Amino acid sequence: MTVLVFTLLVFAGSAVAGLLGALTGLGGGVVLVPLLTLAFHVDLRYAIGASLISVIATSSGAAAAYVREGYSSVRIGMFLEVATTIGAIVGAFFAARVPTRALAVLFGIVLIYSSWLSWKSRGRRDEMTIIADPLSDRLRLSGNYPGPGGQLISYKVANIPQGFSTMFGAGILSGMLGIGSGAVKVLAMDQIMKIPFKVSTTISNFMIGVTAAASAGIYLSRGYIDPGLAAPVMLGVLAGSLTGARLLARSPVAILRYIFIVVILVLGVEMIVNGWLGRL
């Protein structure tokens, strides 16, 4: 395979990853790391480095559109980002000391568990009445987002301390695995904090760039970011994420949930099998 063909294939695969990342809030990294390691046989740590760069691109591309359209809450995102950024720095330091096979298996377990949680909650209505956390009013975290026909749908935020703690764990996973930890962030907001799914995915896209930037510097200093690999990955993900941002507003929530479940379940099984057999 020539360098040109390899670059074009990586770009195309990254564009698909960016599209899925923007639609589901996963950030693209959750697809990219298995894609680069399993399909292109890239060393896992270099794949993580390229993924972190792409996650920043995804956040830059999709998050701005979501904020402009009124889906994403900057206040919630910045509040939760405090926990994820600290966790990302901790996770990046651990990553260099954990064997590649263990990272792959851990990655797969996280994805499968995330898929199961999302499947279990697939019937929950985003508009259901919930009991807001008292901190929600103090921190002014409750808000609204555009619904069918352009009408605004209000929502309240619950279980803020539990959600904040989960975000710290999401940050650790992001630093260790280079995935932006969008799967964990979306589930934390959707399941624990009871934020509507579309709002959760858009806030996740807003947050993952900051989380990834916190750990990308550590990977760069250790030589795990290859510009020749990171450039086509970043451009592909950016193109895909911009397309996904346009599609999300017109996509039914049920379909987004099923895409989320199927993608991370398949990738989780692949990562566990290949990590266990030492193919990574």
Could you please report the per-residue DSSP string of 77-108?
HHHHHHHHHHHHHHHHHHHTTS-HHHHHHHHH
pLDDT at 249: 65
pTM for the model: 0.66
Structure token pair of residue 253: 């929530």
CA 274, CA 41: separation in Å to the nearest integer?
11
Contacts 24+ apart (CB under 8 A), 82-86: 83/164, 83/165, 83/167, 83/168, 83/171, 84/167, 84/168, 84/170, 84/171, 84/174, 84/181, 84/185, 84/207, 84/210, 84/211, 85/171, 85/210, 85/211, 85/214, 86/168, 86/171
Does residue 145 sit in helix, strand or coil?
A: strand
pLDDT at 130: 56
- Closest C-alpha to 190, from 119, 82, 118, 264: 118
Structure token pair of residue 24: 């589901």
Is residue 111 within 8 A of residue 261, CB to CB? The reply is no
pLDDT at 11: 92
Type of residue numbered 232: P
pLDDT at 32: 79
pLDDT at 126: 44
pLDDT at 125: 46
Question: Can you name the residues that pair with 146 across neighbouring β-strands?
Answer: 152
Q: Can you tell me which residue has the tokens 């975290």? A: 141
Q: What is the pLDDT along the chain (280 residues), one digit of tens a residue?
A: 788 898 999 999 888 887 877 776 665 666 777 788 878 888 878 888 888 887 777 666 666 677 777 778 888 888 888 888 888 888 877 776 777 677 778 778 877 877 776 676 655 544 445 566 677 778 888 888 887 766 888 888 888 888 888 888 878 877 776 665 666 777 788 878 888 877 887 888 778 777 777 777 777 888 888 888 989 988 888 888 778 777 766 777 677 767 777 877 877 787 788 778 776 5
Cα four-point dihedral sign 120, 123, 125, 131: negative
Q: Are strands 143-146 and 152-155 parallel, antiparallel or unpaired?
A: antiparallel
Gap between the terminal Cα atoms of the chain: 20
Is residue 34 within 8 A of residue 102, CB to CB? The reply is no
CA 212, CA 187: separation in Å to the nearest integer?
18
Q: Which residues of 80-118 are buried (b: 16+ CB within 10 A; e: fewer)?
A: bbebbbbbbbbbbeebeeeebbebbbbbbebbbebbebb
User: What is the full DSSP assignment across 187-256?
Assistant: HIIIIIS---HHHHHHHHHHHHHHHHHHHHHHHHHTT---HHHHHHHHHHHHHHHHHHHHHHTTS-HHHH
Q: Can you tell me which residue has the tokens 């994420």? A: 241
pLDDT at 263: 74
